[in-house]
Structure 1
Amino acid sequence: MKTLKHSVLIVALISLTFGLFEIDPSMSKTSARAVGLSNAFSALADDYTALYLNPAGLIQLSSMQFGMMQNTMLDSIFSLNSGFVYPMENMTLAIGGNYSGVSGIPVTGIDPSTGRIISTGSSDYSNLVLTMGLASKFKTPITKGENLSLGITGKLMMENVGGGLSANGSGFNADFGALYQVDPVLSLSLVYRNFLPSTIQWNTNSKSNMEYGMNVGLKYSLIGEKEENLLYIKGQSMDLLVDVDVVNQYNKVLPKYALEYKPYTFLALRAGMAFSEVAKDAISTETIQKYSLGFGIYYQGLHFDYAYVIDPNNIDGNNSHYVSMLIDIFNPKEDKREDISYINLDRPSDKMVTYQNIQKVVGTVAPDVVSVQVNEKFIPLNGDYFKTDVAFENTGKQVIRIRAYGNDRKLLGYQDVRILYLESFKDVSEKYWAKKYIEELATTKLIKGYPDKTFGPNNMVKRSEFAVLLVRTKQLELSNSNQADPDVFVDVASHWAAPYIMAVYDAGLMSGDRTRHFYPNRSAIRSEVVSSLVKMDGLSLPLRTPISKFADVPNSHWVNPYIDVAIANGLVTGYPDGTFQPDRQVSRAEVAKFVYNSKLGQIFIKDLFDWSTYKYSK
């Protein structure tokens, strides 16, 4: 039934008759691929040529493209067509240009004395069309999914006649395009060309109208790897293309038909037929058939296309051979949402926490997939199976992106695997009491180990080291100077931690003694650490002196209020014997736990395990 529906649509499209229009200069000879398909391209529109033939198709591109074609007609008319496409997150932008020109056109006149035709000089002619296109996908109540694409191409047209005859003109117009994917194998298109009521204004005070019109198209996938295809062949595809142009000055339907067959991912074969209206004599025209043949070769993003046109009305000197080049450059934009239906990943698992810097990526792909890219590396397929290793350079948040591509490197979908690669140290054993605090905090880069891959958990924390930790956790700004103000501290001067010490002093988190000494190399003690952490978290001290919870901390002790607040907020604890030991030196493991439990420290830890914040980047 579906096949019958498609057949009826094809026949109906071929027999349609629309309003009137005339193709402008930017429509002719856009690329060898389009020429090889007799320009039956509006429902295909999957490369930079869409800028000229159906701007809605630009949204199909998942990579940057640059393409161009040069041609010479009648041995003297030079033409150059080019385009550049840049896909973005929700839209695609394209720019291009179409130039044609000829010089040395003979200008003749009649000699009044003899009545003979004589040469009076020569003239030049050039035509330049600058284009800019924009396309995006839309979701409507009728189309449901985002299978409707709309696009527009603005065109600035400039013509110039020089030499013996001199004139120039310019004007602006635009094309509107729509592309609707009915189902996985059928697409319909509509293009309304030069829909603005504008003209080309000449400096001779004359105007020339820009013809407008309509084109409808159809693409039907005869061969492919989908259930809906008429014929299923893995790794191959064939598209039937039908376009219908109605040109206003002839008021005739001029259809175009084409086939594009891809027996391999690197090769495309093309054939097309187009009905064209040409001059029969001075007052009448006739409809002729033009045929085209072509092929395309693709290699690592480089496209080479060739076309040959069989024109029964061809003029000697007119070129029937066309060649164009296209460069396909992979782009940061992923024009697909994450789609795991094309990829069956065996390992690694999503949201994995690991200590291993090398991860094996193993899985299989759907029949539609012809190539797989893991991060930025293409992986060879063994049937539908792929395997590779991914190495992480740094600890922390990691995302592995597996992309699945179909024919012509069309992105079918991708899958992201989020992995937390934890820091580890040789001297922090599996059963060490502070292992969790040390490793997770080190992964946030708030604390660091030593160059020999050890952490020194039982080493005492120096006051200078603790100052650095406070700066990182509080995210304080450092001064540009590497030296401390001698009027503040006399023993810091050119110490390596001077900027950090001055930052915590200015923030009111640490201080020195009355003699203006900071003692950067002295070990930090518990009372100093607790008071600094309370200040860092912005916790308020009680209005009244609290009753001390520890036998060795009198109510009148300066640190008692800080300890009371720190205990209440889970920053620190006392010892089992009921003491706090405020003057005891603090080890690196202990300070890791304290910062881990702080309000600001928890922001870093929660972010580390917030999988929604994991984003892929090259």
Structure 2
Amino acid sequence: MLHFSKVVPVLVGLGLSLGTAPAAWAQSNDATPKYSNEFLNIGVGGRALGMGNTQVSIVQDATAGYWNPAGLLDLKTKYDGVLMHSELFSGIVKNDYAAFAMPLDENSAIGASLIRLGVDDIADTRDLVNEYGYIQYDRIRYFSVADYALLLSYARRIGAIEGLKLGVNAKIIYRNVGKFANAYGFGVDAGLQYERRGWRLGLMARDITTTFNVWSINADEFKRSASTAEAIPTNSSEVTLPRLVLGVGRSIKLPGQFTALVATDLEMTTDGQRNTPISTGLISIDPHAGLEIGYNNIVFLRGGVSNFQKIQTFSGKEEWKAQPSLGVGVATSGLRLDLALSRLAVEKLGQRSQTNSIIVSLGYGFK
């Protein structure tokens, strides 16, 4: 049986080695998009989003299919389901999520997750003016821009190493821009968790084989609205390079019936230099931190911080900003209700304003 002190360096080394290989390729290929399939990096679940997206090492419900499929082996009931709805930018963008998971036996589990991020009812006013030069409002057509992802997950315990669990995702992606374009993609994620003496370690490798989206463009629709100076898009493909998340968490027993769960993640991107606290040509690292205080495993108060970025104010001063989040949760008789509030600081006309995002998720575990 491997000792804890030997497993930790292996996990860290594995994460760094997985990250540097594709990063070298990305550095030599400037055409690789940095934010391909970015809708899959927003996060899911009120608990996770209330804790600053720190879940890789501690997730234990159906949302593990998204955060780290290895966590599916820690389901507390035979069946577990989660639904989530959130709205971004004053309700313009809708983010919806559904997941279901169940164990196959003591050593394996499966799950399925569906994600949709979209903007609906976008007005197409190209035919607003009729052939006689008059505005005719009933000629307005509406369309949606939406991204979809289906994740199919499998997790299994590794008998040779006590406390070690592995999981994989196969994900199918569909992206649609009304009648103008659509894309299909396929990718693979892999994750592991290791638990020892109250400590929980996790490693999640998203798009471990790189993910390709193939775009199909309806050129006729673009020709109707594009001017002669604008290029008509053509069929193309885009690549999503691996993203690695290394996390650690620990539960602490407090006086009375209180408990505390502390977790931190290091999110590592391999598509070149980004605006993060640690940023190089090979890899960029953005830290996350989260805290959950529980009472009698019924009521929970959560907080977290993530998305550290250096911005320049209108005065010309550079300063670091982070995205804070707060959340509350209630769990009883298998039912879980989680609420989260995430706040983005935005500089507007020289004054600081706030953009809030409210997340609501409902989970239920049953035998």
What does residue 244 of structure 2 align with? 214
Q: Report SS of the residue matched to 2:178.
A: strand
Distance in 2 of aligned mates of 1:108 and 1:278? 39
Question: Which one of the candidate residues 28, 32, 42 is aligned to 1:28?
Answer: 42
Residue type of the partner of 1:159? R
Q: Report SS of the residue matched to 2:44.
A: coil
Question: Which one of the candidate residues 268, 293, 312 is aligned to 1:246?
Answer: 268
How many angstroms does 1:294 deviate by? 0.8
Kept after mapping to 2: 8 A contact 1:72/1:318: no
Question: Which one of the candidate residues 67, 77, 81 is aligned to 2:82?
Answer: 67
Distance in 2 of aligned mates of 1:278 and 1:52? 28
What does residue 341 of structure 2 align with? 308
Task: Name the CA shift for 1:220/1:156 in 2 (closer, same or farther; >3 Å).
Answer: same
Aligned residues: 294
How many angstroms does 1:138 deviate by? 0.4
Relative to its length, the structure with more strand (as a share) is 2
Question: Which one of the candidate residues 208, 231, 239 is aligned to 1:195?
Answer: 208
Task: Name the CA shift for 1:276/1:49 in 2 (closer, same or farther; >3 Å).
Answer: farther
User: Once superposed, what is the RMSD of the aligned Cα atoms?
Assistant: 3.3
How many angstroms does 1:237 deviate by? 1.9
Tell me the TM-score normalised to structure 1 length: 0.44
Matched, 1:320 2:357: yes
Greater RCO (CA < 8 Å, at least 6 residues apart): 2
What does residue 102 of structure 1 align with? 119
After superposition, residues 208-287 of structure 1 pair within 5 angstroms as: 208-221=238-251, 223-224=252-253, 233=255, 235-247=257-269, 248-249=271-272, 250=274, 251=279, 252-277=284-309
Task: State the identity as a percent.
Answer: 24
How many angstroms does 1:24 deviate by? 3.7
Residue type of the partner of 1:207? S
Kept after mapping to 2: 8 A contact 1:72/1:319: no
What does residue 97 of structure 2 align with? 81
How many angstroms does 1:279 deviate by? 7.9
Q: Report SS of the residue matched to 1:51.
A: helix
Kept after mapping to 1: 8 A contact 2:199/2:250: yes
Runs of at least 5 residues in structure 2 that lack an aligned partner in the other structure: 24-33, 127-139, 218-234
Distance in 2 of aligned mates of 1:254 and 1:261? 24
Kept after mapping to 1: 8 A contact 2:304/2:324: yes
Distance in 1 of aligned mates of 2:119 and 2:354? 14
What does residue 222 of structure 2 align with? none
Residue type of the partner of 1:42? V
Q: Report SS of the residue matched to 2:365.
A: strand
Runs of at least 5 residues in structure 1 that lack an aligned partner in the other structure: 110-119, 225-230, 331-618
Deviations 1:450-495 (A, max 9, x none): xxxxxxxxxxxxxxxxxxxxxxxxxxxxxxxxxxxxxxxxxxxxxx
Distance in 2 of aligned mates of 1:286 and 1:94? 42
Kept after mapping to 2: 8 A contact 1:306/1:323: yes
How many angstroms does 1:108 deviate by? 8.2
Kept after mapping to 1: 8 A contact 2:211/2:241: no
Give 1 or 2 for the bigger CA radius of gyration: 1
Runs of 4+ in 1 over 6 A off after TM superposition: 278-281, 314-317
Distance in 1 of aligned mates of 2:68 and 2:96? 19
Task: Name the CA shift for 1:317/1:271 in 2 (closer, same or farther; >3 Å).
Answer: closer
What does residue 26 of structure 2 align with? none
Kept after mapping to 1: 8 A contact 2:345/2:355: no
Task: Name the CA shift for 1:70/1:86 in 2 (closer, same or farther; >3 Å).
Answer: same
Distance in 2 of aligned mates of 1:29 and 1:127? 14
Distance in 2 of aligned mates of 1:300 and 1:98? 27
Tell me the TM-score normalised to structure 2 length: 0.72
Residue type of the partner of 1:154? A
